[in-house]
């Protein structure tokens, strides 16, 4: 598909609907006529055993109608040649211009898969689920709404792994996010390594397009890079980081002696997450339940996309088979007529 950049929609609609992929091939159309004019004609075959010099005097005179009838094979051959050249130039039907939805944003998601993400303090439609399931459910809806963004996925535990490079294929990113399992990357939390990996993957992109959304429920307990050092590196590269602390503030636990209230998010290092967002001119969010998590991603949807020049593409449908079929048909007519002429002189 050919992209039409810098063209408004009205101008794109006025372009020709039929085009040739190889239009230069049309310049060989006169070649057959030139060959016929330049090269000498072949001598007619002589069937008579005895040549009579004055035999031409007794030959019947051809009238104009019979002369025209004898020239019809030449016209059919010329038409076949023209159709073959047109087919070789690859005619195409161009559909209506379609505007490409490109916002210009490169967005990376970093999701914590440490052992604490199995804490069941979230609810989806009244059903208690663990933190990772809630994150997958809400983040999956967020990814589906990000039409025009290139999205990547980082999973981190003891180490950080690039699960999906930046892509427009939102379905693949959602599918791989839903396939992630707790403990897949280890039971600890390497927040600094996740930020460092995002910086490395986004380094080659323009600085005003770099966004990282990092979601965790704990503190940095693994990795080789500290979160603050990684955040300073990200700030130097122009990477904006939005951090999300996930986990309820309190939960009722039943045991043999009755019930008691506990704080399942006691290990959440909110101070570090706030500092990361501050250093990179991002923002820190706190998600205590599914509703708050959904609200956070709705706020993230309000991020202003980077404006880019509008682009259009036109779907192409090949048409070469029609002139090619017509040329083959005409050649078949000529071959049949010549064969019949030999069999029935």
Per-residue confidence (pLDDT) for residue 165, from 0 to 100: 92
* Structural element, H or E, at residue 9: helix 9-13
State the DSSP H helix or E strand holding residue 69, giving kind and residue range, or none if neither: helix 64-70
Q: Which domain holds residue 10?
A: 1-22+73-100+310-345
160: part of which helix (H) or strand (E)?
A: strand 160-167
Determine, yes or no, domain membership for 228: yes
Radius of gyration (C-alpha) of the chain in whole angstroms: 37
Q: What's the pTM? A: 0.61
Instruction: Tell whether 287 and 334 lie within a shared domain.
Output: no
Residue 55 lies in a domain: no
Does residue 172 sit within a domain? Answer: yes
Q: What is the model's pLDDT at position 99?
A: 57
Is residue 296 domain-shared with residue 337, that is, in the same domain?
A: no
**64 in a structural domain:** no
Is 154 part of any domain? yes
On whether residue 296 sits in a domain, the answer given is yes
* Residue 143 and residue 274 in one domain: yes
Q: Which SS3 state, helix, strand or coil, does residue 153 take?
A: strand
Q: Are 169 and 215 within one domain?
A: yes
pLDDT of residue 254: 66
On whether both 314 and 294 belong to a single domain, the answer is: no
**Same domain as 251, residue 125:** yes
Q: Which residues of the chain have pLDDT under 70?
A: 1-16, 40-70, 98-104, 205-208, 250-264, 303-313, 341-345
Q: Which two tokens stand for residue 228?
A: 């603050």
Give domain status of residue 62, yes or no: no
- Kindly state whether residues 18 and 111 are assigned to the same domain: no
Question: In this predicted model, what pLDDT tens digit does every residue of 5-64 receive, in sequence order?
Answer: 444 444 444 555 788 888 888 888 888 788 777 876 655 555 444 454 444 444 455 555
| 4 and 116 belong to one structural domain | no
pLDDT on residue 314 = 73
167 and 243 in a single domain? The answer is: yes
Q: 96 and 110 in one domain?
A: no
Per-residue confidence (pLDDT) for residue 247, from 0 to 100:
87
Q: How far apart are CA 4 and CA 14, in angstroms?
A: 13
Is 120 a member of any domain? yes
- Give the chain's end-to-end CA distance (angstroms, integer): 54
Tokens representing 51? 């040549």
Verify that 228 and 87 share a domain, yes or no.
no
Answer yes or no: do 138 and 221 share one domain.
yes
pLDDT in tens, 127-165: 989 999 999 999 999 998 887 788 999 999 999 999 999
* Euclidean distance between CA atoms 90 and 342, whole angstroms: 36
Number of compact structural domains in the chain: 2
């Amino acid at each position: 598909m050919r992209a039409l950049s810098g063209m408004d929609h009205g101008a794109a609609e006025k372009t020709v609907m039929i085009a040739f992929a190889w239009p230069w091939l049309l310049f060989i159309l006169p070649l057959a006529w030139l060959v016929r004019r330049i090269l000498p004609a072949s001598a007619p075959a002589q069937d008579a055993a005895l040549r009579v010099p004055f035999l031409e005097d007794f030959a019947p005179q051809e009238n104009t109608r019979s002369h025209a009838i004898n020239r019809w094979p030449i016209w059919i051959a010329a038409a076949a040649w023209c159709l073959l050249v047109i087919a070789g130039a690859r005619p195409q039907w161009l559909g209506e211009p379609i505007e490409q939805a490109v916002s210009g944003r490169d967005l990376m998601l970093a999701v914590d898969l440490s052992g604490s993400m199995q804490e069941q303090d979230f609810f989806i439609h009244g059903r208690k689920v663990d933190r990772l399931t809630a994150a997958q459910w809400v983040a999956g809806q967020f990814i589906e709404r990000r039409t025009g963004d290139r999205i990547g996925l980082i999973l981190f535990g003891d180490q950080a792994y690039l699960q999906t490079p930046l892509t427009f294929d939102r379905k693949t990113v959602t599918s791989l996010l839903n396939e992630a399992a707790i403990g897949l990357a280890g039971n600890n939390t390497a927040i600094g390594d996740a930020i460092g990996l995002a910086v490395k993957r986004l380094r080659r992109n323009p600085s005003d397009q770099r966004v990282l959304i990092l979601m965790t429920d704990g503190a940095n307990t693994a990795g080789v890079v500290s979160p603050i050092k990684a955040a300073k590196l990200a700030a130097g590269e122009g990477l904006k980081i939005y951090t999300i602390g996930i986990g309820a503030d309190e939960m009722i636990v039943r045991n043999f002696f009755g019930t008691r209230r506990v704080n399942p998010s006691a290990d959440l290092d909110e101070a570090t997450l706030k500092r990361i967002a501050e250093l990179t001119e991002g923002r820190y969010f706190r998600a205590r339940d599914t509703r708050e998590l959904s609200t956070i991603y709705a706020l993230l949807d309000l991020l202003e996309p980077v404006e880019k020049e509008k682009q259009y593409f036109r779907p192409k449908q090949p048409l070469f088979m029609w002139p090619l079929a017509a040329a083959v048909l005409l050649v078949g007519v000529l071959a049949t007529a010549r064969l019949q002429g030999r069999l029935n002189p």
